[in-house]
Structure 1
Amino acid sequence: MARLAAVTGATGFLGRHLVRALFEAGWQVRILARKDPIDPSWRGFEPEVVPGDLADSRGLAALCAGAEVVVHAAGLVKARSKAAFEAVNVAGTRRVAEAALQAGAERLLLVSSLAAREPQLSDYASSKRQAEDVAREILSERVTVVRPPAIYGPGDVELLPLFQAALTSPVLPVFDSRARIAAIHVEDAARQIAAMAGAPPAQELVTLSDARPDGYGWRELMEAALAASGRKAPLVRTPELLVTFLGVFGALGQAMGHSPMLTPGKAREMRHLDWSVHEGERGRDLPPPVYSLTDGFRDTLRWNLEAGVLSR
């Protein structure tokens, strides 16, 4: 009988790919969802669905019952307030860890974020670091924290402005030339997490990456997006002050009850110079990435055009 993996966040961007990667690695998969999900990428297999969400302790208990590993991939990447981030990312993680403990699960894989390395930058980053601390407090060495860098790929909505700009904008911005930004295609991230689920825990914290753990400069990212689009456009050095200015408008949106992506905290994350993967953080014996940045951007852009999400 296949081993059982319990997954939160299965209907999210990374979660959808993660469910498929776990099935392909031989796991039986049980997911937590508010309603039965329908995902075209899940053709050929069907996860067991437990109704509920992160606020539902009874649902979480049913999710974790009999599971060998619990993969907690649910969380907010944008929210109206610090309290909203903490309600999901911190309190939700606490409930998942408690359910995993009570169910006797051998391991919890907590999908955090590289942003958690710099919790002072934003409410999001702070909430992810707090979530890591809470999980370790409850489960100790039975927790492995997984920190992905910037994830992109089919189904991502956060980088749509970059790809739309590559398709249509007369110019593309580049920021501080000293900045380094690690990245990974969502399918590579899902395969690496699935591999960790089936392997003995070797590290307490693992940061994922593609073949460039040292990361990319802003110019490289923009050039890769343009190469994927088949266009040429000038790259224009853009002052970081503009990012801060746009972040202020994001804060006004938050005050009006919206959940904008570019907030002052997100602006500070964008201005941070070191989002590379440090040597001691790198995962050992993980599947090598399939996608280079250019190939991954090309795959992402093709999917978005075919799905009608973007247009030339």
Structure 2
Amino acid sequence: MPAALPLALTMGEPAGIAGEIALKAWLRRGEGGVVPFFLLDDPERLTALAAQIGVTVPVAAIAAPEEAIGLFASALPVLPVPLAVPVVPGRPDPANAPAVIRAIDYAVELVRAGRAGAVVTNPIQKQTLYQAGFVHAGHTDYLAYLAGGVDVVMMLACPQLRVVPVTVHVPLASVPALLTTELIVSAGRITAAALRRDFGLERPRLAVAGLNPHAGEGGTIGREDVEIVAPAIAALREDGIEVFGPLSADTLFHEDARRGYDTALCMYHDQALIPIKTLDFHGGVNVTLGLPFIRTSPDHGTALDLAGTGKANESSLLAALRMAGEMAARHARSHNG
């Protein structure tokens, strides 16, 4: 069942590959699970980009997201967000940063107003945004801010695996000091609630990776798994959540092990991202859990070195669009009883 509303796809970094993968995703609109979407971007620059990379994509400027459904079969609907200066592929310009942020703001406004089904964000170049005065750590933190400062977690998902890193973009040396029982419990609660609401899993199963090799071997290889991780698992069980661990991360991600859980909670960034990117490098999706609206994103960066070459791979964006469409349809069914 398709979502009743189109998806709002943001501009991302205009000097990166975001525009190219959006054009290519529209060309694959006839494939299963791709629901109508519109892009918040500059129509003229997208038309020029299509010609530059040699793809035939009619671009249609729209005045409102409601127009996207009828246009989508024949043209890529674009809700105009003007850029301040011309785009040079591979060379981000802080002058265009306000347009990048405006596209995110506008997408969130439309979804929260019930005029779009989900926010799908193209990759941003954080350093360029910082140069323009952006004060948030990245997309996820900014979306949480727009939602009123809610607690969120990042999930990476592909058909074979879902993972949630409890700590994210911090030095590995800082992880033991940052990791707390409360942080793990919060991530587990948000994840379990989202798996029920957004993924239709009535009784989600969480596997929790240990921090240390062999999950600490009873405290002989570090005390964190005994003193921090295990109490968090006990607290989640008291909430009625089906949770296992702490488990040795080196045996948690093979095919047989993955059949035993729906999502793995991991203690740090690479513990979560290495297995999913190994399993499905081009098809992984970044999902923000805990927001009052749906947000997905490709699981890759701006790829400035590929910008304007026509070589960018749109598979992760397609996966993000498909997942957002499925989640939006599930929400619509639930809302309609």
Q: Same fold (TM over 0.5)?
A: no
TM-score where L is the length of structure 2: 0.34
Larger radius of gyration: 2
Higher relative contact order (CA 8 A, sep 6+): 2
